Structures are given as structure tokens and as C-alpha cells.
Amino acid sequence: MPAANTSRTEDLRAHGVEIVAGSLTDLAGVTRAKYVPLQRLSAFEKSGMGVSPSWSVFCVDSGIAFTPDIGVVGDLRIRIDPDDLRLIDDGVAWAPASLHDQHGNPAPLCTRSLLSDIERSAADRGLTALAGAELEFTLLSDEGGHASAEPWSPYGMRTSLDRSGFLVDLALAAEMAGLEIEQLHTEYGHDQVEVSLAPATPVAVADSVILARIVIGRVAARHGLKVSFSPVPFEGEAGNGAHLHLSLADTDGPLLSGGPGPHGLRDAGQSAIAGVLDGLPDLLGVYAGSTLSAARLKPGNWAGATKCWGLENREAAVRFVAATPGNPHGANVELKIIDPSANPYLAAAALLGSALRGIDKALPLPSEVTDDPAATAAQPLPTDHRTVIETLESSSLAADLLTPAVIQGLVAVRRHELTTYGDRPLAETCQALRLAWSC
Ligand code: GLU
Ligand code: MG
């Protein structure tokens, strides 16, 4: 949508826009928004709208996980990015927002600003990063239960054609919102759908993940459906992943191809993958840290539950995708462990930050796992929720990459989930949180 300041309001009005939303995604991975009438657009950009500091530590269930540093006193500003306004519904435009203090500085708990900082530190090393995102979600009935009861066939022609009205409307709505979808299909799980987004810079991709969730939710509503972005919407059924892809390049070209290492990896590319793997146990609470995440991270679920890497290995935490004529985007790594309860800005920051750390330390690449890790000596990651939280809390690696303030807030919201849901039956928690990460 055109962004020139003087004409922007007129353009939006011509598109029927009456209100403008700006959203933030909090540490629990929940997206929250404020709205202004169109005539207040410029205030939303410049001074921002007030939000309490507790916005960063709201929990999946409306609890608030106050910390010694975040209480009831203070005020922050949510400011939209004026260059990124999109049409998301009749009369409604949306833009991603960042969290600022009242003086206009990025707030310490603004995960979008944190990801920008890490992108900048890649640029300071002469590196450019491209990310890509895959969103899996589950269609629900309007009441929030299963959307359909008939037998499912994964990737089935029938299952997709039966939902062609939804898929066609989704493609149209995405186009209207300027959201670049690369692929969409019905997935393995019952009523599960996947959408892949075009590669872009990490901040742009995290923005697109949120925009995609919004667009998918709006289209579903028009079809009398709801949508779950829960890691495990129904006990015992397929989980939803939120895999992120990453590639890096310097002035000599891509780091993940054209070199002498395995599959053409250059030395720095090998160290980048080693860095992602090395950071995994500490950062699991960032990538898949909700009370439901462990139920998805099981061997056999293609969720990458084992700390290893391999070419096109769908059971490895890091799936390496080589540069071939079948892959026009070039070589990249896919971190499969991420689920949709993760804040996508923070997950991308952890992924890129740990790749850079691997390069800085020239970490050696572990041997490739060329088989199903279950058939090897490689052990699945410890995914027990308490262990994941305690590991994150005591990790200097996580604090160095993502700041102590962010880790403190993240631990607080995840510990609230542990306390509230840790002893409840899984089926009950699946139901309680089925819509927690939907937009
Ligand atoms: N649904 C799987 C997950 O939870 C991923 C399946 C796939 O590889 O597409 O991550
Ligand atoms: Mg998939």
C-alpha cells in the first residue's frame, strides 16, 4: 500500500479503511493489538499508543507474570511501522508495531527491535540473512472442536479440494494483504493446513508470520471456521510446527553452498549450523517453550526432536536443504523444532544469533546424521517443561544472545504455564489453549 505521508490517509480511505491495528507479539507468543480511527494514524506512528509494561508478560490464559522489573507502574508506547500497512479485513488495516519507551527508544522487551539489532549485527560482520517460514495450523469448527469428522488423507486431493473455497479465499486475501504465499496444502494431521511464505529478511518474515496468522484467521471466520496455531490442538493428534529457514551470504556469495565442505558448505556455513545446534538445548525454551510444546516434540513427529543435522532429514532438528535446480532459493537450513507458541521475532533472533555465534567461535560442524536419528545413537533433546525452563533461566548463552531482561520475562510467562497447567491432564490443556496463539 502506498506510503507517502500526505497521501497515505487518502489511499487508505479509498480502500475503505476506517480503523488501523498495530500488533505486538508477547513473550508467551500471543499477538495483541491496539486500534486507532484512521484520522489518528499519524499519532500511532509518531508518539504511539500507551500500553502497560505488563503487555510483555501477559500469559497464554490472561494471567500476568509480574517480575521484579515489571509491575503495575510505568507506561510504554506501541508504535506502528508506517511503511507496512496492509488490508486485513473490511475497513481494517494492520501494521506490525514495535514497543518503545516514552522517549522514543526501543523498549528492552521489544522482540521486534531485538531481531532488528541482531540483523544489524549480521550486517556489521558483512553478512546478509534471509529467512523463510512455514505455518501449520488446524481448522476447527466454529465451536472450537474438530472441523470435520470424515476420514482424512494427508496431502489428499480430496481433502484439499473439499476445502478449495477456503484455500481460494485465502490466496485472494493474502494477495490483497500483500502477503507472498509460496505454497499451500492440506497436511498430515486431520484438518491441518500448511502455508509457506516467501524468503525475506528476518524481521520482514516475522512480520509476515503474524500477518499470515491474521489473514488465515479472517478467512476461516468467513467460512464459519476457527483456526488453531497450538503446538498440539488435540491430544494424540498431529502437532503444528512453525519451522523457520535461514540462509546467510557474504560478499563472496552464500555460506551454505559453493564451498569445499559436505554438500558444498563453506567453513563459515559449517560453523553457522554448528552454532544453531550448539545453542539448541539452551534455547529450546525460546523455540518450543510452552506447556504444550513437549507433547509435539516426540521422535516420529517430524518435529526435529533430536539435536543433529542432516541433508533433507525430517527427523533432525536442523534439516539441511542443498542448492539444487529443484531449490531456486539456494541452500538453507530449516529449524524444525520451532512451534507456533514461540514468538516468531524471538525465535528468528535466537536462530540467527546462534548461527552468528557459531561463526564467531568457528565451531566445528558435528557429523551429519544420514538416517532416522531414532536408528542411531543420537538422543532426543530433553523436552520436559520444567527442565526446559530451568535450562533457559540459567543459560548465559541465552542471556548473551537475547538479553537478560527478555529471558527473565520469558521464563516468568512459561513458569506461569507450568504452575497453572503442569499437573492438569493433557487433553484439558489442549482444549484450554487451543486458540491461545490464533490471531
Ligand atoms: N507437523 C510437523 C511438526 O509438528 C511437521 C511436519 C512436516 O515436516 O511438514 O513440526
Ligand atoms: Mg509441514
Report how far residue 197's alpha carbon sits from residue 182's, in angstroms, rounded to the nearest whole number: 5
Per-position b or e across 344-371, b if 16+ CB within 10 A of its CB: bbbbbbbbbbbbbbbbeeebebeebbee
Which ligand 1 atom is nearest residue 303's CA?
10
Residue 297 near residue 337, CB atoms below 8 Å? yes
Residues facing 314 on adjacent strands = none
Cβ < 5 A residues, ion ligand 2: 194
Report how far residue 410's alpha carbon sits from residue 349's, in angstroms, rounded to the nearest whole number: 14
Query: Distance, CA 211 to ligand 2 centroid (Å)?
Result: 19
302 lines ligand 1 (CB under 6 A): yes
Q: Which grid coordinates belong to 212?
A: 499470515
The pLDDT, as a whole number, for residue 8 is 85
Helix (H, G, I), strand (E, B) or coil at 339: coil
Report how far residue 175's alpha carbon sits from residue 173's, in angstroms, rounded to the nearest whole number: 5
303 lines ligand 1 (CB under 6 A): yes
241 lines ligand 1 (CB under 6 A): yes
Report how far residue 282's alpha carbon sits from residue 287's, in angstroms, rounded to the nearest whole number: 10
Query: Distance, CA 187 to ligand 2 centroid (Å)?
Result: 6
125 lines ligand 1 (CB under 6 A): no
Query: Distance, CA 177 to ligand 1 centroid (Å)?
Result: 26
The pLDDT, as a whole number, for residue 5 is 56
The pLDDT, as a whole number, for residue 4 is 47
336 lines ligand 1 (CB under 6 A): yes
- φ, ψ for residue 70, nearest 5 deg: -125, 110
Distances 26 to 31, 58, 86 between C-alpha atoms, Å: 6, 7, 21
The pLDDT, as a whole number, for residue 35 is 98
> Residue 292 has what DSSP assignment?
T
For the chain, how far is it from start to end, CA to CA, in angstroms? Answer: 22
Q: Which grid coordinates belong to 388?
A: 526446559
The continuous run of DSSP H or E covering 186 comes out as strand 181-186
Query: Distance, CA 137 to ligand 2 centroid (Å)?
Result: 10
DSSP string, 226-274: EEE--S-SSTTSPPPP--EEEEEEETTEESSSSSSSGGG--HHHHHHHH
190 lines ligand 1 (CB under 6 A): no
DSSP string, 32-50: EEEEEEGGGHHHHHHT-EE
CA 439 to chain CA mean position, Å: 13
Residue 57 near residue 412, CB atoms below 8 Å? yes
Quickly tell me which residue has 479465499 as its cell. 169
Report how far residue 186's alpha carbon sits from residue 404's, in angstroms, rounded to the nearest whole number: 40
Helix (H, G, I), strand (E, B) or coil at 74: coil
259 lines ligand 1 (CB under 6 A): no
96 lines ligand 1 (CB under 6 A): no
296 lines ligand 1 (CB under 6 A): yes
Which ligand 1 atom is nearest residue 243's CA?
10
Q: Which residue owns the Cα nearest ligand 1 atom 8? A: 302
Query: Distance, CA 195 to ligand 1 centroid (Å)?
Result: 12
Residue 349 near residue 115, CB atoms below 8 Å? yes
Which residues of the chain carry a pLDDT beneath 50?
2-4
Helix (H, G, I), strand (E, B) or coil at 21: strand
The pLDDT, as a whole number, for residue 221 is 98
244 lines ligand 1 (CB under 6 A): no
- The percent of the chain in helix, strand and coil, each rounded to the nearest 5, is 40, 25, 40
Query: Distance, CA 121 to ligand 1 centroid (Å)?
Result: 31
Which ligand 1 atom is nearest residue 296's CA?
4
φ/ψ bin of 284: left (φ > 0), alpha (ψ from -120 to 50), beta (otherwise): alpha
The pLDDT, as a whole number, for residue 1 is 53
Q: Which grid coordinates belong to 311?
A: 541433508
- φ, ψ for residue 154, nearest 5 deg: -55, 135
Residue 195 near residue 181, CB atoms below 8 Å? yes
301 lines ligand 1 (CB under 6 A): yes
Residue 308 near residue 246, CB atoms below 8 Å? no
* Biggest distance spanned by C-alpha atoms of the chain: 63
Residue 46 near residue 22, CB atoms below 8 Å? no
Q: Which grid coordinates belong to 400?
A: 548473551
